[in-house]
Amino acid sequence: METEFKHVPFDVIRYSMVWEGAETLVKGLEPKAGDHLLVITSGGCNVLNMLLEENSTVTAVDINPLQNNLLHLKGHIIHHHSYETYSAILGFEGKSAVKRAGAAVINSLPAKEKEFWKNILDQFPEGLLLAGKLEMYITSFYRELSKKQQDLMHRLFECEELKDQYQIFEELKQTDFKEKFVAYFDSTQLSKGRDPRLFKYTKDPGGLSFYSRLEDFLRTHLLSRSFISRFFFYGPAHMPMALRPACYREENYKRLADCWSKLRTHTGEAIDYLCSPEAERINKASLSNIFEYTSPEIFEATVGELLSLREHPLKFMYWNLLNDQGGPLKKLPTYQNVISERLTEEEDCFYFDSVNLFDTE
């Protein structure tokens, strides 16, 4: 598939965390024993989450080799270090804990990897979950807020009732929060977190749409129960265990090591791989928002190929962000309209436009 990601240099970790909700992914793909899943590697979170599901095999695919390197580093930590070290180096225990855990992990790495990961941790001292270009940009927004706005945000994250939450948000709206949010996440500013070439097919300016989605999200979701929302504003430090994705909870740590043998990795373009003979065994796929970086014509041709040319049935999901990829294809019987709408409503990440599910079974 022709995608703008092929024209972006792979000289940085672009994503250190996965923003697509793991619960949404599980509800959509319904992984079970015998399945072989393809998952875009990105920060590795959902690859690890899918490993924890039943006895399914997972192939992690990313066009950027550094994303797979990050996943392999997490695997090294899982196999050679305690959960305390894992949690600390990710950034959940605060900055000082990152430094201690980082030193232990670097010392245990093969010689050829030591310098690279030491440089990463020196550059991103708040943890691996903030080592991505996008994550550093997004989580810096909170520092743009005034003391009053930060206090109101804290109150928002303490609410246990939607009506109380929205009442506090009304107070926040009486400040210049909206203006700051829209300006910070406008497409001209978004290039600080994503390469400008990745906006080639985007017509939506971003900031205002993201703000509107946040406001809608606050009417139906409690921020106090949303991992991604808390990460968006505060980063990973001191994240409650109950909010963390399954792959970052202590209770699942040993299981990750036990099921690691079910994982395969591939560096390359995901659709090209999915359409290759090697990938015929894959029956379910999480494609993240990779169609964001293609033209509508290439998108429709690619999905048409996935729906008709593969020998075996395929269930696959993708997320829309600023491009409404779908069009006529959403009228096909293989498009799961009712489920897609429900997944969109339940998605934990407020800034996505929609979740989309196709099923050729």
In order, the DSSP letters of 12-77 are S---SS--S-HHHHHHHH---TT-EEEEE-TTSHHHHHHHTSTT-EEEEEESSHHHHHHHHHHHHH
pLDDT at 328: 81
Q: State residue 356 phi and psi, 5-degree precision.
A: -130, 135
Q: Does residue 82 belong to any structural domain of this protein?
A: no
- The mean pLDDT value for 119-125 works out to 97
Structure token digits, residue 288: 């993240």
Q: Does residue 211 belong to any structural domain of this protein?
A: yes
Residue 65 has pLDDT above 70, yes or no: yes
Do the beta carbons of residue 128 and residue 89 sit within 8 Å? yes
Q: Does residue 175 belong to any structural domain of this protein?
A: yes
Q: What share of the chain is helix, strand, coil (3-state, %, to 5)?
A: 55, 10, 35
Which pTM does this prediction carry?
Answer: 0.94
Q: Does residue 234 belong to any structural domain of this protein?
A: yes
Q: State residue 109 phi and psi, 5-degree precision.
A: -80, 155
Do the beta carbons of residue 73 and residue 47 sit within 8 Å? no
Q: Does residue 202 belong to any structural domain of this protein?
A: yes
Residue 358 has pLDDT above 90, yes or no: yes
Provide the pLDDT confidence category of residue 61 given band limits of 50, 70 and 90.
very high
Provide the pLDDT confidence category of residue 17 given band limits of 50, 70 and 90.
very high
The mean of the pLDDT values for the chain is 93
Higher-confidence residue: 310 or 323? 323
For 232, the domain range is: 139-239
Q: Does residue 316 belong to any structural domain of this protein?
A: no
Lowest-confidence segment of 130-134, 181-185, 308-312, 330-334 by average pLDDT: 308-312
- The mean pLDDT value for 272-287 works out to 92
Q: How far apart are CA 174 and CA 157, in angstroms?
A: 18
Q: Does residue 122 belong to any structural domain of this protein?
A: no
Q: Residue 231 corresponds to which amino acid?
A: F
- The mean pLDDT value for 75-81 works out to 98
3-state secondary structure of 277: helix
pLDDT at 57: 94
Give the number of domains in the chain. 1
Residue 136 has pLDDT above 90, yes or no: yes
- 187-225 pLDDT, tens digit per residue, is 776 667 666 666 676 776 789 999 999 999 999 999 999
pLDDT at 361: 76
CA distances from 233 to 76, 135, 136, 138 (A): 29, 10, 11, 8
Q: Does residue 293 belong to any structural domain of this protein?
A: no
pLDDT at 286: 97
Q: What is the dihedral of CA 110, 113, 118, 119, to 10 degrees?
A: 170
Q: Residue 225 corresponds to which amino acid?
A: R
Q: What is the dihedral of CA 156, 223, 178, 291, to 10 degrees?
A: 170
Structure token digits, residue 67: 């994303």
